[in-house]
Amino acid sequence: MPTACIRTLGCPKNSVESELFAGIFSRAGWAVSDDPESSDLLLLNTCAFIAPAVEESLEAFYQAEEWRNRRVGRRLVLAGCLPGRFRDDGSGGLESVDLLLLPGEFSRLSGYLGTQGGPCGQLPLEGRILRYLRIADGCDNRCAYCTIPSIRGPFRPERRETILARAGEMVESGASEIGLVAQDSSMWRDGGTGLVQLADELAGTWESVWWRLYYIHPAHFPEELPGLFARRHNVMPWLDLPVQHSSGDLLRRMGRPYGREKLERILDLVDSAGLDIALRATVIAGYPGEGDADFDDLCEFLSGARALRSLVAFPYYDEEGTLEHSRAASRIPGDVTAYRLSVLGSIGDAAAAAWAARLGLGPLEVLAETSRTGHGRFDAPAVDGRCTFSRRVTPGKVYSCRVDEFTGLDMTVTPAPRGIDRAPRPSDASCQTRSKEDG
């Protein structure tokens, strides 16, 4: 049986695509391995939305070419955003591969392997406990700094039935947490059903699974979302908000149709939901035209955000092909951007310390990813705080824990003797509510 190895770069959305590719290999009678040396074909699924991602993908591509050239008969398939972004200009010699797949070209892979059809299910590649389910691909927003709409095309939501079927397969194969992902999840609709109704249905159908919603664009923030967090204990009270900035002038220039008022309203809704909700915010520092007053506005906004748990600050990347790149604008000097990033780092540290004080008060539910490590309700796996257990636990189970020590967002925790078999209801003692904290 021929064997394929799939290597994924970039975010969870790419992991989903890799698992869909794996499903196609399996249907075509291939084995899928994580060892390139024993494989006949290597599929490299790339990311290329900003310069560092392009560099990482090109580096991986050159290594993959070396892998292929070391043995006659090996085949290399290049997929994802790198060919999506550079397919036309020939840069990087991408055409030397055996097959080049643009984003979403599943049927071409099927044809190449001698079968037919599009994706036929996600084959888990990196364990079965944490899974990601893509509810849409592409983006109709036109942020002035972003390459993604030109790489991935217009917004295309998955059908509700497809999402439910894939969720069922994931639960069946042992998923303990499923993250819903898209470029802009808040835009998802199928007929009269929106994201909140979808998450409600998923969480109600599979109550023992933790559900986490990624990428909620502030302009399309569903106001019922905090209520869903309060109603469904197994929808994680974790808000992934790409804030990017708070200054109205900057947001207008970025092509993001909201202002500070909208952001404040979201925080008010979060604060009034009656439970702790963790905000994960991403922001851009050093955007062209960002004056001192704009930056002060951003710092003031973030410092006043009680929910802020995790702050991720990126420098502005000037990407070819974007509207911002075409503007003859004054760029922010690198040392100014570096200084602003350090200030944002301090705000992030203060937010983590405030949350440490809050989490130290009561039990925290932690999902075990391995026998020694996991993540809590208020942290997404891989990107936020990580928990280390003080004793061995069973991977895939949720434990009610006492937090012994904090290091930034990371924690050392002592689990109660037994895992929680079923997600408790919000009224259970292990649910961390505002009244508990205040009391």
257 binds ligand SF4, rule: CB under 6 A: no
Q: Which is nearer to ligand SF4, 149 or 360 (CB)?
A: 149
- Give the span between the Cα atoms of 177 and 351, in whole angstroms: 25
Tokens of 125: 């590649």
Residue ranges in 105-124 that form contacts with ligand SF4 under rule CB under 6 A: none
Does 319 help bind ligand SF4 (rule: CB under 6 A)? no
Q: Which stretch binds ligand SF4 (CB under 6 A): 136-144, 158-166, 292-300, 395-403?
A: 136-144
Residue number with CB closer to ligand SF4 (170 or 195) = 195
Judge whether 286 and 332 are in contact, CB under 8 Å: yes
**Is residue 143 a contact point for ligand SF4 (CB under 6 A)?**
yes
Is there binding between residue 148 and ligand SF4 (CB under 6 A)?
Answer: yes
Query: Whose Cβ is closer to ligand SF4: residue 289's or residue 426's?
Result: 289
Q: How far apart are CA 282 and CA 182, in angstroms?
A: 16
Binding residues for ligand SF4, how many (CB under 6 A)? 10
What does the alpha-carbon distance between residue 158 and residue 161 come to, in Å, rounded to a whole number?
Answer: 8
Burial class of 197 by CB neighbour count within 10 A (0 to 12, 13 to 18, 19+): middle
Query: Does 195 participate in binding ligand SF4 (rule CB under 6 A)?
Result: no
Question: Interacting stretch for ligand SF4, rule CB under 6 A, among 15-23, 140-148, 162-170, 265-273?
Answer: 140-148
For position 322 contacting ligand SF4 by CB under 6 A, the verdict is no
Tell me which stretch binds ligand SF4 (CB under 6 A): 135-143, 161-169, 272-280, 398-406. Answer: 135-143
Which amino acid belongs to residue 376?
G
**Spatial CA neighbour of 137 closest among 313, 9, 11, 8:** 11
State the Cα–Cα distance between residues 241 and 178, nearest whole angstrom: 18
Piece in contact with ligand SF4 (CB under 6 A), picked from 38-46, 110-118, 143-151, 260-268? 143-151
CB 237 within 8 A of CB 377: yes
141 binds ligand SF4 per the rule CB under 6 A: yes
Looking at residue 382, the DSSP 8-state letter turns out to be T
Length reported for the chain = 439
Q: What is the DSSP letter of 162?
A: H
Residue 186 interacts with ligand SF4 (CB under 6 A): yes or no: no
183 lies in the site for ligand SF4, by CB under 6 A:
yes
Instruction: Collect all residues with Cβ–Cβ distance below 8 Å to 257 and sequence separation of at least 6.
Output: 219, 251
Choices 13-21, 86-94, 112-120, 141-149 (CB under 6 A): range interacting with ligand SF4: 141-149
Stretch that binds ligand SF4, among 31-39, 113-121, 137-145, 299-307 (CB under 6 A): 137-145
Binds ligand SF4 (CB under 6 A): choice among 6, 146, 277, 368: 146
Position 184 contacts ligand SF4 (CB under 6 A): yes
For strand 177-181 and strand 130-134, is the pairing parallel, antiparallel, or unpaired? Answer: parallel
Residue 430 is encoded by which pair of tokens? 């292990």
Please list every residue from 17 through 76 that binds ligand SF4, using CB under 6 A: none
The rounded distance, in Å, linking the Cα atoms of 80 and 112 is: 16
Binding mask 290-309 for ligand SF4 (x = CB under 6 A): --------------------
* Most distant pair of Cα atoms in the chain: their distance: 69
Instruction: Give the shortest CB-155-to-ligand SF4 separation in angstroms.
Output: 8
Residue 217 or 253 with smaller CB distance to ligand SF4:
217
Binding flag, residue 217, ligand SF4 (CB under 6 A): yes
DSSP 420: B
β-bridge partners, 47 = none
The answer to whether 166 and 202 are in contact (CB under 8 A) is no
Query: What residue ranges bind ligand SF4 (CB under 6 A)?
Result: 139, 141-143, 146, 148-149, 183-184, 217
